Structure 1
Amino acid sequence: MKQPSPVRHQPSRAAQTDLAWVLAAALLTFLLASRLELQERIARLTSSLEAWQVDEVPTALVALSLGLAWYAWRRRRESQQLLARNRELAQQLIAVQEGERLALARELHDELAQHCTAIRVEAAYIERSREPAQTAAAAQRAAASAELLYEGVRRLLRRLRPAELDELGLVAALQSLCESCETRSRLRCTFRHRGRLDGLGEATDTAVYRVTQEAMSNTVRHAHAQRLAIDLGVDEQGLRLRIEDDGGGFDTKARSRGLGLLGAAERAAALGGSIEVRSEPGGGTCIELRIPLQPQRQREAVLA
C-alpha cells in the first residue's frame, strides 16, 4: 500500500500579505531615512546630551526589538505544542468514545437482545400452552429473563451516568463506590470527608466521582496495593480530593498518562481546577484534584 505523503504547512494568503506589508514598510523606512539623512540628524540632536548617553538609545531599542521577536517566537512554539497536544487528546478521546460505543453496541446485541428474544419465546409458549404446569414454568423463565434484562439496562445506564449521584448524593455515592471496591477486591478502602459538600453542582460532583472511579480502577488493576485512602474536603483554596494508595507506584517522568488520567485532567481544567499525580517506584501513588469554588459557597463549606 502506498504510504501517504506528509502534509506540508503552507502559509495562508493573509500571512503572505502581512509579510509583504512588513517588508514594504522596512524598505520604505530605509528609503526615507536615506533621503532625509535621519541618522545624521539624530546624531546632531543628541550630541549635546552625550552626558546622558542618549545616543545609545537606538542600540537598546534594537536589542529590545530582537528580544520581543524572540519572545514572540517562543510563545508561538508553545502555542503550537499546546495545539498539537489538544489535537492528540481529542483523537484519543474520540477513540475512547468509539470503543465505548462499540462495547455498548455489542452488549446490547449479545445480552439484551438475547433476553428480549427469550421473553418473546416464553410469551408465545404461554399463549399456546394448555398445561398449567408448563405455563407456570414458562412464566418463571420469562420473569427470570426480564430480571436479567433489567439488571443489564441498569448496568449500561450506570456506565453512561452514575445513578448513585442522583439518588444518594456525592458523599454517599463515594462511600458506596468505596464499599463496592472492597467487596470486589481485597483492597482495604477508607473514605473521609469534611465540610459541606452538597450543592456543589452536577459538573463538580461528576468530576469528583469519575476521578475517584478512575483512580480506584487503576489501583485495583495495576498498583497491587493493600490500602486505598480517599479524602474529600474544602479548604481555603477550594475543593480538594486526595486519593492515595500503598502500591508499587511508577515513574511519572518515564510513564505517560493513560487516557483515564488525561480525561480526568480535562475534567478538572474545564472547571478551572487542576490534577496532580505524584508517584515513585515502590512508593505508592497520590492523586490530588483541586477545583475552585465560588467564594460564598467556599466559606459555607469550610464553616460547615
Structure 2
Amino acid sequence: MMSEEMGELYKRGLQSTEAMIWLLDANQKILLLSNGAQKLTEDYAIPLKKIHDILTGKGCPLHALQDVCQDCPIEGHLNPEAIPFQLRNKQGHLASFWGKLTTISDPATNIFYQYLEIRSWQTTQQVQQERLMLGYLNEAQEVERQRIARDLHDGLAQSMYSLMLESRRLMKKYRLEETTDSQQLDASFVELLQEVRTLAAELYPAALEDLGLLQAIFHLADQLKQLAGFHLDVNVQGKPFSFPKRTASHIYRIIQEAVTNSLKYAEVNQATVSFIFEDNVCTIQIKDNGKGFDTSTQKHGLGLWNMQERALAIDATISIYSTFQWGTTITLRLVRIEEIQ
C-alpha cells in the first residue's frame, strides 16, 4: 500500500499537470491519473492493458508474434525512450502517440509502482530534440570542465607555485624570511594555490578518472567537510563494480547536484549517500533530513530536470521524493553495462 505522504505528493502533482500520466500498482490497477490523462480518456478509447503490454515487450504494433518482436530486425533504430502506438478517438479516427513506462519506488514502504506517460507524436518529437540538445550540452560541458581544470592545475597553479618559490628565494637572499610581512606573503601564496587546486578539483575531480566513482565521492565528502563543515556520509553495501567513464561522470554530477541542493536549501549540515550493489544492479540513494520541498512546484527547476535527464542518458531510473520538514530522498537505479573497449 502506498504511503500517505507519497500518495498525497503524487495526487497534488498529477492534479497540477496537463501531461497524460497514470500511476499504476504492480497489477496494473489505476491508483492515480493526471488531469491530462483524464482529458485523453474523454476523447480516446484507452486500452490500458494493451498499451502496458506494448511498453513491457509483451506485444508490439509492428509484429504479429512476440518471438519476432523480441528478435526485432530494426532494433537500435527505434528510440528506446518511448514506444509508438496509435489510439482511436470516439469518432473512429486514429492518432499517433508515444508511451513510456517507468518504475518508481516508495521509500517509506519499499514498494514499487509504475509511472505510465503518454505523449502525442508531435510533443514527443519536441521532447526528443530537447533531450538531444541537453545531452550535447552536458557532454560539451564535461569536456570544457576538463579543459579548464587542466588549465588551472597545469597552468595557473604551476605559475603560482613558481612565483611562490621565487619569492622564498628572494626573501632568503635578502634575509627577510623571518619578517611578519614575508610570512604573511608566503601564507597568502599557499592559501591561493590551495584555492586554485580546489577549484580545479571541483570542476573535474581527478579521482573520478584516476580512482573511479566511489573514491571520487569519498573525496567529495572530504572537500565538503573541510570547506563547508558539511558532513556527507558515504555507505557502500554489497560487492562494488565499476562503471564506464561516461556513466560514472553522470552519476557523480547527479550526486553532486543533490548534495549541493542539501547544502544550500535543506538547512541541515549532513546528508547520506548509499551505494547498494546487488548482482548487476546498483541502487544509489542520496538522503537528507532537511526542510524538504514541494516536488509538484519545483519539478521544472533546472537542477532537478538536469538530474532526471542525466539519469535518462545512462538508462537509469530516478525518483525524487520530498516532503516539508521530512527531508528529501533521491533514488537512482541502474543496471551494470560493461564498457566497450
Q: TM-score range by the shorter chain?
A: 0.5 to 0.7
Equivalent residue, structure 1, for 2:121: 76
Deviation for aligned residue 1:150? 4.1
- In structure 1, what is the Cα distance between the partners aligned to 2:285 and 2:258? 10
Among 285, 292, 301, which residue is 2:335 paired with? 292
- In structure 2, what is the Cα distance between the partners aligned to 1:228 and 1:242? 10
The structure richer in strand per residue is 2
Post-superposition CA distance 1:175-219 (Å, at most 9, x none): 332344344445543221122324322223222222222111110
Equivalent residue, structure 1, for 2:33: none
Q: Which has the higher contact order (CA 8 A, sep 6+)?
A: 2
Equivalent residue, structure 2, for 1:222: 265
The amino acid of 1:253's aligned partner reads S
Q: TM-score, normalised by structure 2?
A: 0.50
The answer to whether the 8 Å contact 1:242/1:289 transfers is yes
Query: Could you say what the CA RMSD is over the residues aligned between the two structures, in angstroms?
Result: 4.8
Task: From the superposition, tell whether residues 284 and 71 of structure 1 become closer, same or farther in structure 2 (CA, over 3 Å).
Answer: same
The question of 1:181 aligning with 2:224 is answered yes
% identical equivalent positions: 28
- Structure 1 range deviating more: 68-77 or 205-214: 68-77
Task: From the superposition, tell whether residues 197 and 135 of structure 1 become closer, same or farther in structure 2 (CA, over 3 Å).
Answer: same
Post-superposition CA distance 1:271-292 (Å, at most 9, x none): 1112211112222111011222
Task: From the superposition, tell whether residues 210 and 84 of structure 1 become closer, same or farther in structure 2 (CA, over 3 Å).
Answer: closer
- Structure 1 range deviating more: 204-213 or 82-91: 82-91
The answer to whether the 8 Å contact 1:273/1:292 transfers is yes
The structure richer in helix per residue is 1
Equivalent residue, structure 2, for 1:165: 208
Secondary structure of 2:329's aligned partner: strand
Post-superposition CA distance 1:135-187 (Å, at most 9, x none): 99899788667645643442242133112224443333323323443444455
Task: From the superposition, tell whether residues 287 and 266 of structure 1 become closer, same or farther in structure 2 (CA, over 3 Å).
Answer: same
Secondary structure of 1:225's aligned partner: coil
The question of 1:283 aligning with 2:335 is answered no
Deviation for aligned residue 1:293? 1.1
The amino acid of 1:132's aligned partner reads Y
Deviation for aligned residue 1:266? 2.6
**Number of aligned positions between the proteins:** 223
The question of 1:263 aligning with 2:288 is answered no
- In structure 2, what is the Cα distance between the partners aligned to 1:198 and 1:84? 33
1:114-263 pair list within 5 angstroms: 119=163, 126=170, 132-134=174-176, 147-148=190-191, 150-185=193-228, 187-225=230-268, 227-235=270-278, 238-263=281-306
The answer to whether the 8 Å contact 1:182/1:189 transfers is yes
Structure 2 residues not aligned, in runs of 5+: 1-87, 99-118
- Structure 1 range deviating more: 219-228 or 186-195: 186-195
- In structure 2, what is the Cα distance between the partners aligned to 1:202 and 1:72? 35
- In structure 1, what is the Cα distance between the partners aligned to 2:193 and 2:122? 53
Secondary structure of 1:71's aligned partner: strand
Task: From the superposition, tell whether residues 141 and 64 of structure 1 become closer, same or farther in structure 2 (CA, over 3 Å).
Answer: closer
The answer to whether the 8 Å contact 2:231/2:271 transfers is yes
Q: TM-score, normalised by structure 1?
A: 0.55
The answer to whether the 8 Å contact 2:239/2:278 transfers is no
The answer to whether the 8 Å contact 2:237/2:275 transfers is yes
Deviation for aligned residue 1:89? 4.8
Structure 1 residues not aligned, in runs of 5+: 1-62, 298-304
- In structure 2, what is the Cα distance between the partners aligned to 1:170 and 1:176? 10
Post-superposition CA distance 1:79-135 (Å, at most 9, x none): 2441575488579x58x96xx98xx79x97xxx59x759939x66x94xx9963259
